[in-house]
Amino acid sequence: GRTAALIPAAGSGTRLGRGPKAFVEVAGKSLLARSVAALAPLVDEVLVALPEGLTLPEGVPARAIPGGETRQESVWRLLHATSADVVLVHDAARPFLPEGVVQALLEAVPETGAATAALPVADTLVRGERGRWADLVPRAGLWAVQTPQGFRRELLLRAHAAARAEGFSATDDAGLIARLGFPVTLVPGDARLFKVTTPGDLALAQAVAAVWDA
Ligand code: CTP
Ligand code: MG
């Protein structure tokens, strides 16, 4: 079957403070251009949701549609813009995407219909209350969820439709599947897949780009 990469890139980048985040450049290349370049050779089509009124920069091999008010709404719109059997949803804000992670996801999707890149948590975790250590959260078995996430398109559509009907919102797509009780396969992600969220992340991205682009 056909595979599409769906890239939500319609956010405003409030926490970064540099304008629409997908258009922010790291070492001369935008976060969006980096994400598209990683996926384009591995899928049949690339669809990007952009902020209202903005257009794709020259030379980015993708098709653009207007995004929505939330990430979830942007993905909902992307899902309706393709007829691919399998979709890979990937945040534009994660510009360093190793090919091996995409391949592992594409292999995992047929098993359960849903899979996400994720990394075992390395830090000690604690629940805080009013700035004080309340209780330890054992980290054994805990994973930090990344993108890309791969799905049979029909399954993700169904999960989105259910979430909309119930007014449920989530920051990722695999969560909408798990919420319905369907299995989601965890595929080893990569530290370089961190999300560029704050100005500090941009400094880290510059350092990674120096190695990535070499
Ligand atoms: N996104 C989107 N549509 C929205 C909001 C977010 O497509 N209405 C996308 C972003 O462009 C990003 C991904 O979802 O690629 C993850 O969102 P996030 O890191 O929160 O980016 P922003 O929403 O742009 O940042 P902020 O929350 O700081 O404003
Ligand atoms: Mg956001």
**Amino acid 1: pLDDT:** 86
ipTM above 0.95, yes or no: yes
Give the separation between CA 68 and CA 51, rounded to whole angstroms: 8
Cα–Cα nearest to 50, from 10, 6, 8: 10
pLDDT tens per residue, the chain (214 residues)? 899 999 999 999 999 999 999 999 999 999 999 999 999 999 999 999 999 999 999 999 999 999 999 999 999 999 999 999 999 999 999 999 999 999 999 999 999 999 999 999 999 999 999 999 999 999 999 999 999 999 999 999 999 999 999 999 999 999 999 999 999 999 999 999 999 999 999 999 999 999 999 9
In short, whether 70's Cβ falls inside 6 Å of ligand 1 is yes
β-bridge partners, 89: 6, 149
Nearest to 101, CA basis, from 113, 123, 80, 119 = 119
Question: Atom 18 of ligand 1 has which residue's CA nearest to it?
Answer: 11
Ligand 1 pocket test, candidate residues 21, 24, 35, 47, most atoms within 8 A of CB: 21
Residue 14 CA to ligand 1 center (angstroms) comes to 9
Please state, in angstroms and rounded to a whole number, the distance separating the CA atoms of residues 176 and 112.
14
Establish whether residue 9 lines the binding site of ligand 1, counting it when its CB lies within 6 angstroms of any ligand atom.
yes
What are the CA-CA distances from residue 113 to residues 83, 128, 172, 207 (Å)? 16, 36, 16, 35
Alpha-carbon separation of residue 51 from 13, 71, 119, 123, 166 (angstroms):
11, 11, 30, 35, 26
